[in-house]
With several copies, the nearest count.
Chain A
């Protein structure tokens, strides 16, 4: 930064000459130019701080992709590990290209209509004020998270080609359109709509970090995918009783869950986009976005924690053992639920959010078993179910003060029903749930159905029994043992020598 220097003698000369020669103008200009420079430098630093904040948040959201990959890998059987991990890598990679080419344009291309954006294709005319590269990166990380959710639902039985098609379609079109509706200043349902436009029900949808936009979209897409594919072989026996097909590594599940937790601190607090913004009188240490950001991190933490504990005891009563898989899923359910309201609720409300989310997840899982719906990662139940609860929760518990701080400029806007803010916010949120369900079903449901009709969706029963890794990915993920004397590079052979002999027995 250039340092402004102020020359006292020069100013003194101007001031002295001031009243005598009418040269006060020069003195005033001198002083003002210095003050202007100071103000502009502050603007620069503000931008730098905000960008730093946004970029590191984006990096953390990206780290969630690692979390998804490990969570998915641990939750499937060893024979399909390479398959699911490859899909997670490609979510990020293909998502990067498609979101760059047109996804970001559909989502945030401004100015546009309320339905779909149409600028910034391939980042053309970026940067422009309000739309810098860092913002694109942050939104990209969100987009690939949505696709990552869906991959869990259809794991272990889907053709790789189908995966590539749906992933590109979801990241490049379905998700961007939804995020345009609720997050772009042009979107018809956005709470931060342009000042001149009217809000939905005078309120708009407060889906702060995307319980609906990200989690429900991913979850519902996964729901249709898993429903159309049908359950994995062996998931339900002849009498329709469910069989647990356990994931192959609890360690990877815990690793993934912790990475997701870590990344969620970028997801939720990061959604403020900026951190240097005063809410109250300037210069106050506590009335600003910095405090709200911290609060969002705290509500996120508490919701996840209470959901994890609720699940722990709830499941203990039901099954008689302490199950780490379930606790991790409960934890993530709590996070998915608080995502919508994280910025506008009090910490105590977050505990309620997590408590209910745990039961929502347990309930959805019961329902899924009843209806023979098979979702290897419980993704539809977790992200769809808890996400929907989160959207409702935000509409119930949003606090007036926080709503006005996070969505400024429209005093007297509705807030949470239980906080005395009337039902209009709730109405808007119910609309959001219905619209997301409808849109995703109409697009992704059709896509999956089309893929099935073209025989591109599900793998053959033989492939499924043998495992995708061996049939499609050139070998299994693990080779802990090798026949010491023999040929180490026996690609087709399976990991454990033992399994060969098992077959023989």
Chain B
């Protein structure tokens, strides 16, 4: 910190001669001191904001752990290694691609409304408004989108096609969508540059990405799962659905809680800064800090309501209390509140979560009806509840909060039910359509092409044996090893029968040794 000591003798000498032309000296002295104080305050503000953003980023990153555990628990034991590896690689490959060009496509400013074209490989970062923490935060969002899709195509997808789609989604499809709605240059962004015209005079208020993140991931998953078709055994000969249960409810709960934990970085963190006054300066409650807290509260309440609604809704339908469904309901509530979290009242979050639970239940019904198989319900959850969330924000956004979160344009439209007219809703509907169209136009052909080239789906034998044995060198779990069978702990055979009947020893040299 720069030296701020004030010299009394110096200033008094200047003041005592003030009558003369030396007033200038006194004034300069006082002003330099005041300016220094203001600049130090600016530094402090930057540091506080960076701290807030960085720790939010770390929380969002923790969601990747949540996804990995949720996915692992939701698939059968024989495919655990596969799904774990895809989640690790989402984050890893995503980092490289997002570093090389994803961030540039998304936020490279100045640019046109469609795609950014600066900051490739973080060139000329940091520049004002685009510092390293911001890149990291956006990266954590990008890998979340890819993580969603991986759930939809679990248990039956070739690893190579996974690598291809994941890179394409993180490096191109998602960044472009986020450019449209979040970059100051984007054609539909609500925080557009002051001199630009907003879509319908309103712009799309998708605060933390119900549309940009969740719908993108969900719709990509929808196309993939649709093109691949259901897993073997998911529907019987008469087309009746058979539940292929995940292998570990513990992992599902672990993953859900980690996602919940990380969502506190996702939603409140999307404010990017926290030291920003809304009202008169010096007020303890009129500032972004309060809005950040409110966002955390709306997020919590939407998830909680949705979980409870699902609990009782499913209890009535199936007759038992199902923890997997409750976790999915919880996440559906979170996905829905993400768009509006910053601009709605806590009571509206209750409505949001309540409806989200029924949206998820409804889409699951539809999926069964049309024999659509999504091991993690990712398309239903993130696509369906995400869409509802976009609508919800257009219905319940409160005037005061909208103007605080998107300042500088007084009188802008807000939620329909809050008396703000239909223009925000119209913009948000356009967002839904455009996202659905764009993702279908890019990811749909990609998956179709992969399918045509025979790169998409694994063979039926591999699927029955499990991906872990055929592609990943063994099973995920070895609770018992045969070396010790001569020793004291006789007892256990192995959990996974499969390892005894190993499928292709040639492919799995190490595991063949140990068995």
Contacts and interface: CB of A to CB of B under 8 A. Distances in A.
Given A55-B293, A89-B307, A309-B92, A248 B287 contact: no
Given A11-B31, A19-B17, A39-B37, A462 B488 contact: yes
Contacts of B77: 479-482
A230 interface: no
B474 to A, nearest CB: 6
Contacts of A266: 58
A499 to B, nearest CB: 3
B281 interface: yes
Contacts of B243: 489, 491
Nearest to B163: A312
A321 B471 contact: yes
Contact of A1 (B47, B62, B276, B296): B276
Given A93-B308, A129-B285, A479-B248, 19 more contacts: A51-B274, A56-B55, A78-B481, A85-B253, A92-B260, A94-B308, A129-B284, A234-B483, A245-B481, A251-B251, A261-B91, A275-B50, A277-B1, A328-B88, A347-B122, A465-B484, A472-B321, A480-B479, A498-B493
A494 B481 CA distance: 11
A487 interface: yes
A136 interface: yes
Interface string A31-57: 110111111111111111111110110
Given A66-B254, A288-B47, A324-B472, A82 B323 contact: yes
B250 A81 contact: yes
Nearest to A323: B473
Given A93-B303, A294-B133, A502-B493, A478 B249 contact: yes
Interface string A457-493: 0000010011100111111111111101001110111
Contacts of A52: 48, 51-52, 55, 274, 289
Nearest to B139: A301
B446 interface: no
A321 B507 contact: yes
A96 B301 contact: yes
Nearest to A43: B282
Interface in B1-29: 1-2, 4-9, 11-19, 21, 23-24, 26-28
B281 A37 contact: yes
B16 A254 contact: no
Contacts of A347: 99, 121-122
Interface in B123-143: 126-129, 131-136, 139
Majority-rule SS of A interface residues = helix
B65 A262 contact: yes
B483 A465 contact: yes
B161 interface: no
Given A12-B27, A52-B289, A244 B510 contact: yes
Contacts of A291: 50, 126, 131-132
A27 interface: yes
Among the interface residues A63, A301, A497, which one has the most CB atoms of the partner chain B within 10 A?
A301
Contacts, number: 605
Contact of A36 (B5, B139, B479): B5
The 4 closest A-B pairs by CB, nearest first: A294-B132, A499-B493, A133-B293, A494-B491
7 contacts: A38-B37, A42-B4, A49-B47, A52-B274, A328-B88, A482-B77, A497-B497
A295 interface: yes
A342 B460 CA distance: 46
B351 to A, nearest CB: 13
A315 to B, nearest CB: 9
Interface stretch (A190-198, A279-287, A399-407): A279-287
Interface string B67-102: 011001000111011001101110111111001000
Contact of B59 (A28, A59, A293): A59
Contacts of A89: 253, 256-257, 307, 323, 326-327, 330
Given A129-B284, A478-B249, A286 B126 contact: yes
